[in-house]
Structure 1
Amino acid sequence: MAFISPSSQVPKDAVVMTEHEAAEYVWDLVYKWKDLSDVWALRYGSVALAGINGISGVLINKHYRRKLKLGTFGHFSSVIPVSVMPAMLTLLFHRYLISTDMMLMKGEQCPVCYEMRSATTQVVLGITYPMLLAPTSALMLANRYNTYRVPHLQEGPKVLFKFLRTITKPLTGTLTTLTLVQVVASSIITYFEMKNSIILRNKLIAIEQKLSAEEDL
């Protein structure tokens, strides 16, 4: 299926749909397709990437909580924004900004462009997002429950940033590994999604041609 903008010339026998209706149609087709080998990446790729970012959030959150000796204090309130939210956002962003565009053939079909967009989304939501929230959450909880002596804002941002740099330094190796895993995983998943999309499109064209031939007989 190709998405055609309103300004494009629409064939006489075409079924006119909005972009939202077309997206619903192709995803319904993917989940009802009998041969799983044709659509496995489209069905489960975004879920796998969401899981990777969820684990990334857990590891980052765990590091700061352990450094600030938080134990079980505020555990649930920090897990949701740092681990659960990145996973959910990864699922939604990848599925609707990458996979759906790919299947609707919006814009240029550039595999490298899709892989770059996927990797950027993955790293932003799996590394940048948790790295902003995890230390902030841990500092607030440590100050609230007095589990660790943390610098106050009155001491100046320089003191606070120095403290954060000190407790973040041991996490550098883990962050590098997580980033590499996310880039590689997102590139592989996106590649197979593109492959699934092409296979699905070719099989639909073959079915359409077969039905057209039978009607002509």
Structure 2
Amino acid sequence: MEKSRRPRSDASRNREQLLAVATRTFAASGTEPSMRAIAHEAGVGIATLYRHFPTRESLVDAVYQDQVQRLTDGARELLAELPPHEALRRWAELFGDWIATKNGMLDTLLAMIESGEIAHAHTQAQLFEAIDAILAAGRATGDLRADVTAEDIAAGLIGIFTVAHPHDHRARAARLLTITMDGLRAGGSLRAIMMQS
């Protein structure tokens, strides 16, 4: 019985390793890398990559869904370990990694969203739920402002990581996140944000 399970276990590990390498490769690339480049980075032959991900779209979908899952699970996990304002900051950094990964597969991703292969509205709802969980915890503890919505947070983070790509401008992204997070603390205000910018 143990022997019959091992190939599936090995295949699962290989798939996870390929997924991790593909995620890093997409995040580090200014343009979409080839499947061959991803296989090379993973140290496997192209046939091995195609065995797990038969098309570019299947790989992009797997990376995208994995990143969304990390963000939704991350909100709960961070709240279990950190005060809400710190959880939000750490979650924002995860969001920045997701944005960077999306940039490396953008053409394929947009085509898949347009064709309906990826349900963008569902993903958006999942992310808003994750942010809402952190905001609700922050309101309950008096840690975060009560007048901020998940949509506000998402829009602000997209703006930050559009002007300061987390890999190319890490220090600038960190500074903008600090300014934003200070403004989101209970008692924060737009005036306080503007004074620090």
Q: TM-score, normalised by structure 1?
A: 0.28
Q: TM-score, normalised by structure 2?
A: 0.30
Higher RCO structure, 1 or 2 (CA under 8 Å, sep 6+): 1
